């Protein structure tokens, strides 16, 4: 019998990709013998390399080369997780049938099956597409297997540093998702002086400058690795942390995915939609306003974030560790 070949067009942000993992895992459970390919941006390939489901990972390129790769893959089915027109257009032109995804963005003509969005946590959205028969109330948490070389690299970059909390003050959406840096400084100081933890600052290249400055203010028991780790090393760093404190960001979801207790700090984004998929976590939010889409300069979000005190976050960390 010919092996079924399935294409999953994946999401483009770390947090979104991690929130899709339970449904991707359910898809594998429903198709144990299929060959499953993930189509993702190149910077997310290392994330999916740590995941047990994909047999192959294809990187998004410009449209024509990507269509050529999809056509050469001879896929018998495409599950399309992004809501964009482009993500549905490329499998169409590549001749893949059926093409299953969510409605929206003028996509009905591009999909053979266009499904309505469901409510609840964002992770729920992907089950009707990938595994409609699965129980969305009884799903497996994201699974990541971190390679040993990533742990070795972290050991080299953090020689002799143990018993640490990782702080991640960055967020891709900018200040509308960022707890004030001065609050991270106060929190870090109290974690050092009151709880005897070391501090590691983590994040991407865009966070490096702020994290270096923050580490300098916290003294010789703090170090910044923001912008200095690969994605796999970032995962290894988080898995070695006693806990992590983060904004509503990819780093928060990555900490949850590797099993690290995590405190997520929310402004006006909705933790019921995008909260961490984890067994041990705390979410802090002081706002009755909930909005999935916010501007990068939302005054309401900034006010809500600044109303959460370092003492509240410290208490949450203490409850987790």
Same domain, 39 and 161: no
Do 247 and 291 belong together in one domain? Answer: yes
In a domain, 224, yes or no: yes
Which of 130, 159, 192 is a domain's end point? Answer: 130
Short-list 15, 258, 10, CA closest to 144 = 258
Q: Is residue 286 domain-resident?
A: yes
Q: Looking at the domain assignment, is residue 139 inside a domain?
A: no
Residue 126 and residue 158 in one domain = no
* 112 and 181 share one domain: no
C-beta contacts of 153-160 below 8 A and 24+ residues apart: 153/229, 153/230, 153/233, 153/236, 154/229, 154/233, 154/236, 154/237, 154/240, 157/225, 157/228, 157/229, 157/233, 158/200, 158/223, 158/225, 158/237
This prediction's pTM: 0.95
**Two tokens, residue 200:** 């590691």
Q: How far apart are CA 73 and CA 174, in angstroms?
A: 38
The answer on 313 and 201 residing in a single domain is yes
What pLDDT, on a 0 to 100 scale, did the predictor assign at position 86?
94
Residue 257 in domain: yes
Residue 171: predicted pLDDT: 81
pLDDT digit string (tens) for the chain, length 321 residues: 689 999 999 999 999 999 999 999 999 999 999 999 999 999 999 999 999 999 999 999 999 999 999 999 999 999 999 999 999 999 999 999 999 999 887 888 899 999 988 889 999 999 999 999 988 777 889 999 999 999 999 999 998 888 999 999 988 767 788 999 999 999 999 999 999 999 999 999 999 999 999 999 999 999 999 999 999 999 999 999 999 999 999 999 999 999 999 999 999 999 999 999 999 999 999 987 777 777 777 888 889 999 999 999 999 999 999
Residue 138 belongs to a domain? no
Number of domains the chain is built from: 2
Structural domain span for residue 80 = 5-130
The answer to whether residue 255 is domain-embedded is yes
Same domain, 68 and 192: no
Residues 312, 179: one domain?
Answer: yes
In a domain, 185, yes or no: yes
Q: Tell me the CATH number at 312.
A: 3.40.50.2000
What are the CA-CA distances from residue 42 to residues 13, 18, 59 (Å)?
11, 16, 5
Domain final position from 130, 160, 181: 130
Q: What was the pLDDT predicted at 165?
A: 98
Is 311 found in the same domain as 163? Answer: yes
Domain check: are 51 and 117 in the same one? yes
Q: What pLDDT, on the 0 to 100 scale, is given for residue 175?
A: 79
Q: What is the pLDDT of residue 136?
A: 75
Q: Report if residue 141 sits inside a domain.
A: no
Domain finish residue from 71, 99, 130: 130
Query: Does 175 share its domain with 311?
Result: yes
Task: Let me know whether 94 and 241 are in one domain.
Answer: no
pLDDT at 173: 67
206 and 98 fall within a common domain: no
């Amino acid at each position: 019998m010919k092996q079924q070949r399935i294409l999953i067009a994946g999401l483009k942000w770390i947090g979104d990709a991690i929130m899709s993992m339970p449904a991707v895992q359910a898809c594998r459970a429903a198709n144990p013998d299929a060959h499953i390919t993930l189509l993702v941006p190149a910077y997310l390939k290392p994330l999916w390399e740590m995941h047990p489901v994909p047999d192959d990972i294809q990187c998004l390129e410009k449209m024509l080369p990507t269509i050529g790769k999809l056509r050469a893959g001879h896929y018998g089915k495409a599950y399309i997780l992004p809501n964009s027109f482009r993500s549905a257009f490329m499998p169409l032109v590549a001749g893949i049938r059926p093409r299953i995804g969510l409605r929206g963005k003028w996509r009905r003509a591009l999909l053979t099956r266009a499904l309505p969005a469901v409510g609840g946590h964002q992770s729920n959205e992907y089950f009707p597409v990938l595994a409609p028969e699965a129980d969305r109330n009884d799903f497996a948490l994201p699974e990541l297997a971190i390679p040993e070389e990533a742990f070795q690299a972290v050991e080299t970059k953090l020689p002799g540093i143990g018993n640490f909390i990782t702080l991640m003050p960055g967020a891709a959406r900018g200040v509308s998702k960022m707890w004030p840096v001065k609050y991270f400084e106060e929190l870090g100081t109290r974690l050092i002086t009151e709880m005897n933890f070391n501090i590691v600052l983590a994040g991407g290249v865009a966070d490096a400058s702020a994290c270096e400055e923050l580490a300098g203010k916290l003294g010789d028991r703090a170090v910044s690795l923001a912008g200095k780790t690969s994605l796999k090393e970032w995962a290894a760093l988080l898995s070695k942390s006693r806990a992590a404190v983060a904004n509503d960001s990819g780093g928060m979801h990555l900490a949850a995915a590797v099993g690290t207790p995590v405190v997520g700090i929310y402004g006006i984004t909705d933790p019921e939609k995008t909260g961490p998929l984890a067994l041990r976590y705390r979410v802090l939010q002081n706002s009755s306003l909930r909005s999935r889409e916010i501007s990068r300069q939302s005054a309401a979000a900034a006010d809500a974030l600044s109303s959460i005190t370092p003492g509240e976050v410290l208490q949450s960390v203490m409850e987790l560790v």
